[in-house]
Each structure stands twice: as structure tokens, then as C-alpha cells.
Amino acid sequence: MFAVLLLVCAGNTTVIYTDVSADSLYIGDRIELTVSILVPKGAKIAPPETDAGFGNIIVKNWDIDKTERKVSDSLAFKYLLTTYTVESCTIPALAYVHIKESGQDTLRSRAIPLRVVSAIQANQGDTIRLKDIKPQLSAGSPSLLWLWILLGAALSGALIYAGSRLWKKHKKGPPPLPPKPPYEEAIEALARLQGKDLLTRGLFREYVFELSEILKRYMGRRFESNAAEYTTEEILSWIGTAPFDAELTKSMERFFNETHPIKFAKMIPDAAMVKRLYEETRLFIEKTKPAPQAVQTQPAEHGDKA
């Protein structure tokens, strides 16, 4: 099933396509819904929430693919859907918010009806049979082969376990290396993030998510807190009491307020915002880097005078 909705706004053409892999399904089966949107270059699209599903339809998973062109971008929102209701239902028209400098427009996909097929089918009269049930097999004398296989597997597992214990007892590996200082670990993590080329592939949300985790992990190790496990609300509360100056406090509050909708509301940031978020993270790490400790020298002991 394929549906197209064409919208023209502010002199730029926006096209939204709706495609579903099947228009009927058995209860519990999965189908794929694809909503493709062709937008002007650099446009931001906020997709609908999926936590509550689409009516009687449950969203098992969803993802987004982005393809950049010279004058336009192509966004493909892919949803894996199922239902557990015995009644036919409809994929409703989904709202996608087109965010612009002059305001915002709402794009809606086409509603698609689905036919739900029950796993049981009625035959003639009142006879009802389950779909594709195989005939009953006759029972024969039980085989003990499975028991010997089970005993052999248990014996093999016991021998392997005993051997590994003896090997570890006679040959211990070197002790694990101590963790690197928070500053060094954070700088290396930023370098690895830059090396993944997520931005050149248009994976802005994935880049921001990992950048936020690096910053939270550094805060937790540097200031001995649970910042790595905090929610956005909890870390904003902690920043308000942390030993930062006013400029750093304001910068970090802005960082987590701006990254929250990117990580959890599927907002797509632009390249300028992502670059600024990286610079704020790097600046915070540099400004909170521990000062090198001065080397303390002990006075030489004086010997007894002759």
C-alpha cells in the first residue's frame, strides 16, 4: 500500500510518502511502516511520540535514515508494528512537525486501514479448527539416547570447569591496569567520537547522545558523584549545587536542556548546534581539569655530629 501527500509552503516543496509492507496481518505478526519526507536542505522534522503506540497498534521499534542532497534532504522514518486485537484497525495519520525560523508546519501521513486475521478459522457448521495444526503423532517406546547425551554433556562441562579452575590456579594473568585519570579518559573519548565520522553520515542524534554520555561520565569521576546515572532533571539539580563558577553553571544547564529533546524527543539538530555542544563540552573539561600537584620534598636527615 502506498500513499503520497504533497505540501507546498513558503516556496519550497515538501513531499511525504506513506508505505506499509502489508495491509493484513495475523495477531502478533509484524509489519513495517515507512514514512518518507522530502524537505528543503537543513530542515528540522520532529516525529510523533511512539511510547503509547498508534491506537490499537503497538510500535515494537523504529529508526530514521537521512540522505542529504544538494538542495533537499530525504528523511525515512521506519516503524516495526504489530497488534494483539482481534478487530481490524487503522494506522492513523501521523503528525510530523516541520520546524522553521518563521514558525512551524505540521505534516501528516496518510491513514492506512489494516485487516487483522484471527489464528482460528471457522469451518462448516459449528466446527472450529486451529490454523495449520498437524495431526497427532503416535507414541512409541521411549528412547534413552537423550539421557546418555545429557549425562555426557554434564560430564564434559564438569571436566572443562575443573580444568579451567586448575589453569587459573597455576597461571594467573597480570593485574588489571588502573583506570586513567578522568581528564585523560574524557579527552581520549572525545577523540574517538570525532574519529567515528558520525556527523559526515548525518547521524547527529547518535553523536549528541554519545557526547552527553562522555560529559556525564567525566562529571561523575571528576567530582565523585553519580552523574553518569542521573536523569536530565537530576543532573540539572546537581549542577545547581556543584562547585562551578557562574559561567560554567550556565553553560552546562544550557547543554543538558538542549540535548534532552535531541536524545529523547527525536529532535534533529543542525550542524552549528552540534559543533557548539562539542565546544562547550571540551571547554568544561579543560576548565575543570585538576591542577597538577606540587612535589613535596622532605628535608635531609642530619647525622650525629662527631
215 assigned to some structural domain? yes
| C-alpha separations of 202 from 70, 92, 207 in Å | 14, 29, 9
State the residue range of the domain holding 33: 2-119
Find the CATH number of the domain harbouring 46. Answer: 2.60.40.740
Same domain, 96 and 203: no
Grid cell, residue 73, equals 534532504
- How far is the C-alpha of 117 from the C-alpha of 65, rounded, in Å? 31
Domain total for the chain? Answer: 2
97 close to 106: Cβ distance less than 8 angstroms? yes
- How far is the C-alpha of 267 from the C-alpha of 260, rounded, in Å? 9
56 assigned to some structural domain? yes
Give pLDDT tens digits along the chain (306 positions).
Answer: 544 444 444 446 678 989 999 888 887 788 898 999 888 887 888 899 988 888 888 888 899 988 888 878 888 999 988 887 777 788 898 898 888 777 788 888 888 898 887 655 444 444 445 455 556 655 556 667 888 888 889 988 888 988 887 777 666 656 677 888 999 999 999 999 999 989 888 898 899 999 999 999 999 999 999 999 999 999 999 999 998 999 999 999 999 999 999 988 888 888 899 999 999 999 999 999 988 764 444 454 444 443
148 assigned to some structural domain? no
Q: Find the angle CA(222)-CA(227)-CA(232) to the nearest 5 degrees.
A: 140
Same domain, 29 and 112: yes
Same domain, 109 and 186: no
| C-alpha separations of 230 from 23, 207, 241, 244 in Å | 43, 19, 14, 18
88 assigned to some structural domain? yes
Same domain, 188 and 110: no
77 assigned to some structural domain? yes
Domain-terminating residue out of 119, 146, 171: 119
Same domain, 115 and 193: no
Domain-terminating residue out of 119, 135, 150: 119
Is the entire prediction scored with pTM above 0.85?
A: no
